[in-house]
Every structure is written in structure tokens, then in C-alpha cells.
Amino acid sequence: MNHTLSALVVVITYRSGDVAADLAATVSRWLAGGPDRAAVFLDNSDDHECVATARAAVDPSVIDRFVAEVAPNNLGFSFGVNHAVELGRRRWGEPRVVLLHNPDVATSAQVLERVVMLAVEPGIGIAAPTLRAPDGAVDRGSARRVWNKRRLFATLVGLPALPPLLGTPRRSIPVEGPGVHDVAFTSGAYMAIRREVFGTGLDTRLPMYLEDQEICHRAHDLGYRVVVSGDLSAEHVGGVSRKSNTAQRRALRLMELVVAPCLSLMDTSGIGERPLKMLVGAAGLTRGALALPASLGQRGERAAWLRDQLTLAAWFVSWAMTPGRIGDVEWNRATRPAEAG
């Protein structure tokens, strides 16, 4: 057993059987690069076939450093990550770097290795490649500034280019060009976290879609940089693990677009719940009002696009009018980003 691993790759899957083989084969090639590397695939959907597919894609020469199993129950992302890391610790020892990798991201063994190496450079606590959509565009979650009210409003309205007109930079940070780019937050879909930042694991008190922001916040608070490499990229297909029925889709979209941003903004700025609910409601009404004229410029499935926009707008308004607290965030608030306008 290696008492210290150079890196442990953690993949949490959920109904991801169609991509498990390709990713496991990539991880297998990365494992072949050294005996101090290991990986854990943990499935949250009771999909034994996905687990078997992943195992079958791994070269026998490295299978002793690869674990694929079904979680005892649907642990959720943060619990799943912590459980997977504990499995790795018990079997191989403490990892110097934990690399989180979503099943819907396509990468290479070379990029895996270079991201891990970047994460342990002096002063760096979290490192990530540039995530790109299948069309080559940079994923908006890849390199981000902190939330402020204007950026949140623009996101909810569906106009990511609006913030400069409102007097604030866009949420996304440009990462085109060589070298590393310092960011406030990067995506948990593909991030390497050094041991000093990962500590005992992700914060399981937080709701889905806030975990990556919290760990980046933690890195900054500990004095480390969070960086995205402009020289390394991976393709983020997206949606592989999403649930399909309407109720679940609504909950996930509201968590991603409303709840997590609001909780993050509350923590970094001290803004209260009532103003944020008013902002979300106003953004929903604005999105609905803009949907019909905007649909005239749509090609193809115009009616379906309009229906989706009106549905999302109605969800925002309904959420804003529903009584109850948004929630609490238990971050260390010793260091707050200065920008919260």
C-alpha cells in the first residue's frame, strides 16, 4: 500500500452507463503512469451494469488501483465524494490531490496528469482545465467571478451578456490564451483539490450545486489560489446524470439557477433573503415578458423554445412567492470577496 497517493480520481455516476467505459478507459491509461495513482467510481443510481462496464474497461495491470462499486444508497454528490475518498484512503492511503471528475466530461490521461501537477504547484489549492461545450465554446461554469445582484438578474433573465450594460463584469471570466487564470470559482465537474484544501471532505450541509463554490471559497480563505488552465481543456457534454421527470427537473433547475446562487450571494455579501426573492421574482417576470418577442428570432422548434422559457419564468416567480427561508450557509466568513454590488 502507498501511504501517500499522488492523486485519487473520484467519479460519482448516476445513470451514466453510456459514458462509463470511455471515462474508465481514460482513467486506466492515467493509472498506468505511476503506482501512486488510484481511482474510485461510485454509482448513486444502483446501476450495477454501469459499475461492471467501468471495471471491464480498465486494464488488468492497474485494476488493483481501481475501485468501482454501487453506493449503499443514493448518497448525493458531496456525501458520495467523501465516501469515495474514504474508500480510497482505507485501501491506498492519503491522497495528496483529490481530482473530482464528472462522468459527462471527456478528457485524456495527459490532461488528467497535468491538472494534478498544477494543483500542487506552490500557492495553488485548486486547479482545473478549461471546460468547453461540444461546439468549442467555453463552459460558463468553468471560470467564474463571485455572484452579485446584477449578474444573478442577468442569468435568471437568460441574458449572460447583460452585466456590462448594468455596470459590472460578466459572471464568466475569459480564459482564452496560454497560462493559468485566477478565478473565484471553477466547476466541480473537473477540479483537482490539494489535500490541505480538501481536508475532511466536501461540506455535506450545503445543497447541490453549491459544493464547488464552497470548496473554492475554502481554498481562498486558506490563502491558496484557484486557477483554470488556458492550455488544458476538456469537453463538458452535460446532462448525463440529470433526472428526466418534470418534478425532479424543476427541483434541479431551481437549485442550480436560483437556490445555490442566492445562498452564495447571501454569504459573500450579507444580502438578505427578502431582497433576493424580490430579485428572482422580477427576473422571472422579465424573462416571461421577453420570451415572446425573443421567440421570433428562433429557428426550428420555436413553440418548444417559447414553452420552455415561459415554464422557467413561471418557476422563478412561483419560487419567489413561496413562503419560507432560502437556507443557511455555514461557510467560514473571515474573508469575503470585496465585490458584492
DSSP lists the bridge partners of residue 234 as 131
Report the distance separating Cα 196 and Cα 120, nearest Å.
10
Among 9-18, 274-283, 313-322, whose mean pLDDT is lowest?
9-18
- Kindly state the percentage of the chain with pLDDT values over 70: 92
Res 338 pLDDT > 50: no
Helix 273-295 × helix 149-157 angle, to 10°? 40
Residue 3: the pLDDT is 60
**Segment 216-243, tens digit of pLDDT:** 999 999 999 999 999 999 999 865 444 4
* pLDDT top residue among 331 and 203: 203
* DSSP per-residue string spanning 136-197: SPBPTTSEEPPP-HHHHHHHHHT-TT-GGGGTS--SBPP--SSSEEE-SEE-TTEEEEEHHH
- pLDDT band, residue 337 (cuts 50/70/90): very low
- DSSP secondary structure code for residue 122 in this structure: T
**Segment 139-197, tens digit of pLDDT:** 888 999 999 999 999 999 999 899 999 999 999 998 877 899 999 999 999 999 999 99
Contacts of 25 (CB under 8 A, 6+ apart): 57, 58
Question: Where is mean pLDDT largest: 93-97, 138-142, 303-307?
Answer: 93-97
| CA angle centred on 80, ends 130 and 89, rounded to 5° | 90
Grid cell in block for residue 107: 478528457
Quick one: CA dihedral 72, 74, 76, 81, positive or negative? positive
